[in-house]
Structure formats: C-alpha cells, structure tokens
Amino acid sequence: MQKEDRNCPEGLVQAKIPSQLEKLVGVESEAVGKAEAFTGAFLRNSTQLHSSHNLKSLRYKAVTLGFTRGKKGKKKRNSKKAKGLNARQKREMKVFQIKPEQQRYDLFLPLHELWTQYVVDLCNGLKPSSNPQVIQQKLLKADFHGAIITVVRSKCPSYVGTTGIIVQELKHIFKIITKEDKLKVMPKRNNVFAVEIGGFVSHIYGSKFEHRASERSAKKFKVKGTIDL
C-alpha cells in the first residue's frame, strides 16, 4: 500500500517508483535513443553516398507533370466551321449566270491577255526548243479562264468551228463568248478543242477533261495512245 504524503497538494498522490521499474524505463529510453541515432546516421550516410548518382540519373530523366483542368474554367471550343453555299443556294442566287449586258466579247479581251501571259510564264517562256509533251502536261493542270478555244471535232456537227473566250469552266461544260457577243455552252464530252499558245497548237479531249479546274490541278493524267470521242 502507498502512503499518502501530507505535504502533497490535495487530490494528488505521490508514489515512489520501484527500483526495478526505474531500471527498465531507463533501458528502454536508452534503446530508443540509440535507434534514433542509428537511423539518423544511416540516412545521412546513404544520402552522401548516393547523392551524386541520384543527381546524374535525375538529370536525364523525364518527369511527367499531371494536369487537370477544372470544370469551372473549362470552355467549349467552337467546332463549327464556316460553310460555303451549296449547289441549290448558288442556283437560287444565280452565281454562275452572266447578265446579258455583260455578254460582250471586248469585255473579256483583257482577261485573255492575262491568261496568255500566265501560260507563257507557266511554260517557261514557250521557247522554240521547248518540248511539246512538257507543255501539254502543264496545260492539263492549267486554268483555262480567258483562253480562246475552237471546236475542231465533235459528234454534233453544229459545234465544229465554234470559237470564243472561255468565261466559265465547270465540270462538264465550257461557257464561251464568241466574237458575235453570244454566250454559248459547250459540253466537254464528245468534243475536241484546240487552243493556240505562242505558235503551239494543243488539243483538248473534252471527254477526258471532265474535271473542275481546282480538281484538275491535283489530278494525275495517264498517257494513252489513242483517245476516242
């Protein structure tokens, strides 16, 4: 039984720790202190030994940083692109129609002069020593707005001999203005056209030419021996 100390404040009991228990507590505290000292020394030694190696390995190591965008700051991108007019809208707006007062041959002569200069530059000056096959290949991908063409062969005899300036080229037709100030629509199919450039006369087989001007510039034409109407 423990005796109460009269000099101790009220409510407190002063007890003496047995000698065996005191020794046991001292041993445990000493063991904890040695363990902490060993752990600290081990960490310091490991850090010093491997610090240079870790730095070299980390120098060339790619680090991936995670990133998450908050819901509040997230904005939807406008994926809609501007769309052009479709075929029906173009017909309703009469985009491809030439007004009667504009169907005059002399109005398109400056366009023909620009086209002539364009083709001369395209064919490197059209020198007499130029290879006709090279010129033909370049003409296949050229723009013909402003060119003067003549129908030399056709399954429709009334088309033969028709000459004019190309004012519009569509996929299947040429629209030309004749010297008589008449707008004529010439189908490409079953017609052969001739165009003269700097003394060179090139023939265009319309049945093999049924492409839009923008599509023809990227198309690869195959060389064939004979081409029928």
- Does a structural domain hold residue 203? yes
- Does a structural domain hold residue 109? yes
Reply yes or no on whether the pLDDT at 25 is more than 60.
Answer: no
Reply yes or no on whether the pLDDT at 106 is more than 80.
Answer: yes
- Does a structural domain hold residue 71? no
Task: Give the residue-averaged pLDDT of 97-111.
Answer: 91
pLDDT (0 to 100) of residue 210 = 86
- State both tokens at 79: 């994926």
Q: Which residue has the tokens 């940083």?
A: 65
- Does a structural domain hold residue 211? yes
Q: Rounded distance, CA 220 to CA 203, Å?
A: 18
For residue 200, the enclosing domain spans: 101-216
Mean pLDDT score across all residues of the chain: 75
Task: Give the residue-averaged pLDDT of 5-14.
Answer: 48
CATH number of the domain encompassing residue 145: 2.30.30.210
What is the per-residue pLDDT across 145-199, written as a single tens digit (0 to 9) for each? 999 999 999 999 999 999 999 999 988 999 999 999 999 999 999 999 999 887 7
Count of CB atoms within 10 A of residue 163's CB? Answer: 14
- Does a structural domain hold residue 4? no
Comparison of pLDDT for 23 and 31, the residue scoring more = 31
Q: Which residue in 149, 139, 156, 137 sits closest to 229, CA to CA?
A: 156
Q: Rounded distance, CA 46 to CA 162, Å?
A: 96
pLDDT band per the 50, 70, 90 thresholds, residue 37: confident
pLDDT band per the 50, 70, 90 thresholds, residue 126: low
Number of domains in the chain: 1
Q: What are residue 85's phi and psi, to 5 degrees?
A: -75, 140
Task: Give the residue-averaged pLDDT of 27-43.
Answer: 70
Task: Give the residue-averaged pLDDT of 39-45.
Answer: 72
Reply yes or no on whether the pLDDT at 1 is more than 50.
Answer: no
- Does a structural domain hold residue 223? no
- Does a structural domain hold residue 190? yes
- Does a structural domain hold residue 95? no
